[in-house]
Amino acid sequence: MAHAIDVYIISGFLGSGKTTLLLNWLEDAKREGLTPGVVVNEWGDVHVESDMYTGTKTVELLNGCICCTIQDDLKTELANFLSTTETVPDVLFIEGTGVADPLEVVDAVTDPAFYDKLQLQLVATVIDSARYLEFQSRLHSAKDVRQMLTQQIEAAPLLLLNKVDLISEKQKAKVHKKLSAVKQSEAVVLETEQASFSFQEARAVTGNAAPAKRHAKACSHDHDHDHDHHHHAHFDMHSFVPETTFSSQELQKSLTHLSGTLLRAKGVVETDEGKLVQFQWSGGDVMFRETTQTMPRIVLIGFGLDEAQIQSELSGASTSVNASGE
Ligand SMILES: Nc1nc2c(ncn2[C@@H]2O[C@H](COP(=O)(O)OP(=O)(O)OP(=O)(O)O)[C@@H](O)[C@H]2O)c(=O)[nH]1
């Protein structure tokens, strides 16, 4: 291989706007005539957004955080990706799950096995500015959430303060202040709406500080691969096939009625009109958008979610798959 492939890692907490940024960068790269490749790591057992990457060489790592065995999977997938006879991409975008420590992805990419094949250019962390203060609050948020956010922010020389359309100037100032206590001193912080920061602009940042590099610490998560569940620190994940139809208002109502702490929900549901749509929920309104997916699915992630209530509010049937920890 003549040149190593430039790698850009997109990090950020659940629902912050990583996929939105990835889609922007994919378009930018293609417009420039580059051939991009994508690695997406999803916390769900089904990738409900896979139709968004049609036409791009994509590797999906499902059901996990990129850590421990999943980190080994990432290395294996990267090796497979690089050894296929198809066109080698010019640039590779890796989107971690919202509950991944980006340094674990950095470790995989900078593994000696790839030293002449992959060239890490940038770790960009996307931050949901509308939920950042809540997520960083000792009063309103769990320690795992605060730690995860801190790891993601500390690892990145580029921080995109996304969703600024949802907050006031006063809130924005508070977010900047909080962020400056955590971020790398040289980190570039930019405010965005719809993660509108182009790939060209991102490349200009790569001249700045390299991503922090430390060996990923030993995995402290509980994994029990003999059972049909995956445990992300203390995050519970539920994934199931809903057997009812929804309007966006009904889905909104059901999601916001759930006891425990729901951090993120997404999936594919059937509308009352019998059409399958993709839905997104990350703390605000439920958003529906067109999809070519052919199966309904709901994936939820949070803390202390009640399985029985999820069944009665959202599943509508007994086909529910509990993928939560413990
Ligand atoms: N209001 C607002 N919504 C946004 C913005 N950026 C993204 N969104 C929406 O926020 C939701 C989550 O965005 P994604 O890009 O899927 O977030 P993600 O970080 O990939 O989410 P995970 O799948 O949980 O990792 C989607 O409904 C987006 O359309 C923004 O700047 N403002």
pLDDT in the model for residue 215: 45
The span from the CA of 233 to the CA of 289, in Å, is: 31
Q: What angle do CA 307, 308, 312 make, to 5 degrees?
A: 115
Angle (CA) 296 298 303, round 5°: 175
148: CA distance to ligand 1 center in Å? 18
Please give the pLDDT value at position 225: 37
Which of 168, 19, 34 is closest to 92 using CA atoms? 34
pLDDT along the chain (326 residues), means of 10: 83 94 93 89 68 71 54 80 76 86 87 90 96 90 89 94 97 96 93 96 73 46 38 72 92 92 92 93 92 89 89 68 41
CA angle 179, 259, 287 (to 5 degrees): 65
Protein residue closest via CA to atom 1 of ligand 1: 163
What is the 3-state secondary structure of 189-240? EEECCCCCCCHHHHHHHCCCCCCCCCCCCCCCCCCCCCCCCCCECCEEEEEE
Which structural domains are found in the chain, ordered by start?
5-205 (3.40.50.300), 236-315 (3.30.1220.10)
Q: How far is the centre of ligand 1, averaged over its atoms, from the C-alpha of 60 (Å)?
A: 19
Ligand 1 shell residues, CB under 6 Å: 12, 14-20, 98, 162-163, 165-166, 193-195, 264, 280, 282, 287
Give the per-residue pLDDT at 216. Answer: 43
Asked whether the beta carbons of 158 and 21 are under 8 A apart, the reply is no
Q: What is the ipTM of this complex?
A: 0.99
Q: How far is the CA of 178 from the centre of ligand 1 (A)?
A: 21
